[in-house]
Structure 1
Amino acid sequence: MKHLLLVFLGGGFGSVLRYLIGKQLNSSTTGIPYGTFAANILGSLLIGIILGLAAKNNTLSQSQTLLLATGFCGGFTTFSAFAYENHVFLKAGDFTSFAIYTVGSFIVGFLAVFLGIFLVK
């Protein structure tokens, strides 16, 4: 139960911060979602730092890792988890899983959005 609460709290803070960044940086004039882009890149950097610290001499506890990586970064952007998981594939030399996961995520993700929009029309 403690782990669920940590993920819940971190996710809430991450989601609120992503909303505020998006509200501030997303442009209605250019249409380019700079806030979303910034959140994805910053979240990817943060999850790398957090999981790097967790792996380095057990610098972070499991609870801290759940709060910060799974919770905060997960709420801030799921792209950070996607990027880290691909890092794991590449580090292990599993290029097939990397390619399938990356291409599959993009294609199936886009198709799922289009299907969802189609279904509600």
Structure 2
Amino acid sequence: MLKTELMNLWLWIGLGGFIGALLRFAASGLMQSKSAVFPLGTLGINVIGSFFMGFIMYSSEFGGLFSEEARIFLTIGILGSFTTMSTFSYETFKLLEQNELLLVSINIIGTVLLTVFAIYLGKIAALNLWKV
């Protein structure tokens, strides 16, 4: 890859990261009630991001919908800053510090199962779109 191509790709990833961070802030704020103890906003962001990751990757693989540059912009750029594993880890640890063991379990199991299931749903949506 040429130096200018690499620099352009980095710029697209950075722009995607900027967009993803703003989307995360807005969407998480809409989902999370200020009075809620459970980090529903983070869980919702991870599920939504996982769905779109599955959809984009399988649409790229089976439908040729996205160029390599567009796929990188969307997945590494936007979804990379949209999804929130570091926030998930921190919020889970805070629940653990507060001895909220049931909520810790729900958060870990819910996040892992729902995000993996969302990848599957994204795949199904892409495969149905492309009739594969």
TM-score bracket for the superposition, by shorter chain length: 0.5 to 0.7
Alignment partner of 2:33: what SS? Answer: coil
The answer to whether the 8 Å contact 1:8/1:71 transfers is yes
Structure 1 residue aligned with 2:35? 29
Identical pairs, percent: 30
* Alignment counterpart, residue 83 of structure 2, candidates 77, 85, 92: 77
Tell me: higher relative CO, structure 1 or 2? Use CA pairs within 8 A at least 6 residues apart.
Answer: 2
Deviations 1:19-61 (A, max 9, x none): 1112222123221122111110000000000001111143311
Counting matched residue pairs gives 84
Alignment-mate amino acid for residue 69 of structure 2: S
* Alignment counterpart, residue 17 of structure 1, candidates 23, 33, 57: 23
Structure 1 residue aligned with 2:69? 63
Distance 1:57 1:21, change over 3 A: closer
CA distance in 1, matches of 2:31, 2:84: 19
The 5 A counterparts of 1:1-121 are 1-77=7-83, 79=85
What is the TM-score normalised by the length of structure 2?
A: 0.56
Runs (4 or more) in structure 1 with deviation over 6 Å come to none
The answer to whether the 8 Å contact 1:6/1:67 transfers is yes
The answer to whether the 8 Å contact 1:22/1:36 transfers is yes
Alignment partner of 1:20: what SS? Answer: helix
Alignment-mate amino acid for residue 5 of structure 1: L
Unmatched 5+ stretches in structure 1:
80-105, 115-121
